[in-house]
Amino acid sequence: MENKTPVGTITHYYDKIGVAIVELSDRLKVGDTIAIEGKTTNFTQKVENIQIEHINVEEAGNGDSIGLKVDQKVREGDKVYKVF
């Protein structure tokens, strides 16, 4: 079984460009594997890039609101976990 720790919550999703806005509660960096889970959402993906205010960053932390390209549709309120 995989270990996972909560790192944030989806606050918005841009359907046309496949980007989720995530309010972080912990550190997240490019290369991490994340799981996104909700009522109808359940998938795992690798973090390819992170943006803050449309600028690419290597990592972000607690309190940051980030843009994250996602592989599937997500919904507001979905939880984001870092998978180990």
Q: Give the pLDDT band of residue 65 (cuts 50, 70, 90).
A: very high
Summary mean pLDDT of the chain: 97
Q: How far apart are CA 76 and CA 81, in angstroms?
A: 15
Residue 69 contacts by C-beta under 8 Å, 6 or more apart in sequence? Answer: 18, 19, 48, 49
- Which CATH number is 4-83's, of 3.30.450.20, 2.40.30.10, 2.60.40.10, 3.40.50.300? 2.40.30.10
- Burial label for 8, CB within 10 Å (0-12, 13-18, 19+), is buried
Map out the domains of the chain as residue ranges.
Answer: 4-83
| pLDDT tens column, 14-42 | 999 999 999 999 999 999 999 999 999 99
